[in-house]
Structure formats: structure tokens, C-alpha cells
Amino acid sequence: MRVETALPIGKVDPGLRQAEERLDLRRVPDLAREVEALGYDGLVALETKTDPFLPLALAAAVTERVRLTTAVAIAFPRSPMVTALTAWGLQSLSRGRFTLGLGTQVKGHNERRYSVRWTPPGPRLREYVLALRAIWDSWQSDRPLDFRGEHYTFTLMVPLFNPGPIEHPQIPIQLAAVNPLTCRLAGEIANGVRPHPICTRKYIDEVMLPAIEAGARKAGRSAGEVEVCVSPLIATAADPAAVSQRARDVRARVAFYASTRSYRRVFELHGWGRLTDELSHLSRSGRWEEMPALVSDEMLETIAVVAPHDSVADECRRRYAGAATAIEFGIRLRTSEDRALLKGLVGQLQGR
């Protein structure tokens, strides 16, 4: 299994009210070098408080081996032409190590945070991916650009704005997914799927993988060509008391996700649909502190990996064996002993 990490290394999912740490871009070169030294296969950048392309550009310039992935960049606020140009530059700078991870985000964020008109995301995302590939092909082959769709049309490319061919023009595209429609789309036209952290192994097996296979069959290719890159919620620490503390934070995150309508189908598969209604009501009422108590131990341990350091790698491998090709993993780093421990855990996850 390939092992990835997000910056900052060892960042821990916050609880319901805790703010996620803002990445200091000045630290990225040193952090990226450390990712390689720890033995990681990949480095991912999220779009939360920092544009995800910026840290990857800094990392690409100082690393030699690790794969660099946006996990994920929000697609619709960016024209495919803008995304295509940024990805082309990163692929060239990294000498073929860049992967473009795309996500749609939900309607409210598109309309109210990005001021982007909302349309059904599946057809639009399909066009987005096909448009990217048409633009890249135009640059690489010096053929006229002629892409015409319902949502995007690109028919103009003049020499002044054509960056020209690069050494590694085949840029992998991964799609963030929960619903089967996006999984089918990934199986048909993308290179990978990034399940939301709320997606359980049961949901991946019974909903996501069959949809990926259906999409792959439609395209006449094998589902094995589509990577599945998981980023589970993980509660781990050196001793049981510390694991319990971490589990409290993760329980709050599960409660938040369970209150979100977009993720309801995951909870319904496990028979927790009525609970999501209750949590949704509490969230709309601003009663955030009451929500984690409604998440049972069974629910927490089904969704998250809860284990001490000495068994967390084995638990991750057991849970995702046969389903995932890559996993995002990290622990808090405070001392040189922590770094040695993490390097060993990365090796275990890789099967070394």
C-alpha cells in the first residue's frame, strides 16, 4: 500500500470547534524534505486555509521522489483552463510526479463561499475532466483546441498562451467521491478515487467499488486501473488514555459529518439514518456540544481507526486490505523519537 501524508506532517483532525492549523508556506520546503526522509510515497495538499497548488509547487522544487497530489482542489470555482495551466506547470516542475485531485464541494459552498452557479455536479465534472484532457492534448500535440460542451467550451489557443509540450504530459486525475455517480465517473474517465474520510470499509466494498467497476466496464478498461486512496479518521497515541483523548476529537468530527446531508447515504447503509436526522437538527440549532455524545462506540470504531501506536499500522492494513491502493496517514511529531516511530509505521503500512 502506498502511504501519503498531508502538510503539516502529522496533522490531526480537529474536533468540532477546533480550527484546523493554517499551513505556514515558509516551512513547506523543510517539511517536504522531511516527508521524503520519513519514507513516504506521497505528499498531499488540501484546500482549506491555503490554495492546494502553492505548497505542492514549493515541495516539487526541493524533492526528488514523492508523488504530489491535490487532495483535493475544488473544481468549479476554477475554469478548466486555469486548472490545466497550473497542473501543467506542476507536472513539469516535479518531472512527472504531480496528480490532480479534484472535488466538487457541496451546493452551499459553491454558491455562498465561491459565488459559483450550481448545476448537477456529475455531468459538469465529466465535462471538466474531458476539457482538461483536451487542453493538455492541444498543448502537447500543437493541435487546434476544439472542445465544446454544455458547461464548457474552449476553442481558442494562440501561441502566446500555449505553454507547449512537456516531458510527462499524462497527468493523473483523481476524484473525491462519496456518491456512486462520481465513483462510476471515476471508473470511466479518471485515474483514481479519493473516498471521503466518512466512507467505511463496508460502504467502499458495497457501494463505491461496484460503481467504479461499472464505470470501468463502460469505458472498456479494468477497475484495477483506478486507484482508491483512503484518508481515514485515525485516533492513535502511545497509550490507551491518550488514544481515548484523541478519540474524543474524532468522535466530534464524526458527529459533524453525520449531520451533513451529503453524507447521509453512508450512515443509512449501517442503519444509522435516524441518528443523522437528530444530529442535523442539533447542528441547525447550534447545539454543537451535544452532538458527540450521540456517536456510539460502535459507530466511532466502524468509521475511524482507533488504536495505539503499536497496532495502528496493522489495523489500517487489515481494514483496507484488498480495497485501497494508498492511505493518508500521520501522527503528531514533537520529538526525534516520534519521527523514528512514524518512519517505522510508514514502513509497516507499505508492507516493509
Where do runs of H (alpha helix) occur along the chain? 28-37, 53-60, 80-93, 107-108, 121-141, 180-189, 201-203, 209-219, 240-258, 264-269, 273-284, 297-303, 309-320, 336-350
**Is the CA virtual torsion 46, 49, 51, 53 positive or negative?**
negative
Biggest CA–CA distance in the chain, Å, is 63
DSSP string, 94-155: TTS-EEEEEE---HHIIIIIS------HHHHHHHHHHHHHHHHHHHHHTPPP-EE-SS-EE-
Mapping DSSP to helix (H, G, I), strand (E, B) and coil, where does residue 24 land?
A: coil
Rounded Cα gap, residues 31 and 189, in angstroms: 33
Report the amino acid identity of residue 200. T
Q: What is the DSSP letter of 53?
A: H
Q: Is the pTM of this model over 0.85?
A: yes
pLDDT at site 261? 86
Place of cell 468522535: 251
Residues contacting residue 21 through CB under 8 Å, at least 6 positions apart:
8, 11
Mapping DSSP to helix (H, G, I), strand (E, B) and coil, where does residue 229 land?
A: strand
Q: How many CA atoms lie within 13 A of 156 on its CB side?
A: 2
Burial of 226 (0-12, 13-18, 19+ CB in 10 A): buried
Rounded Cα gap, residues 240 and 236, in angstroms: 9
Residues contacting residue 117 through CB under 8 Å, at least 6 positions apart:
110, 111
Place of cell 492511505: 327
Q: Which domains does the chain have, with CATH numbers?
A: 2-239+307-350 (3.20.20.30), 240-306 (no CATH)
pLDDT at site 22? 81
Across the 352 residues of the chain, what is the mean pLDDT of every consecutive 10-residue run? 88 53 91 97 95 98 98 98 98 98 94 96 98 98 97 97 98 97 98 97 98 98 97 95 94 94 94 94 94 96 97 97 97 90 97 86
CA angle, 221 as apex, 219 and 224 as ends, to 5°? 130
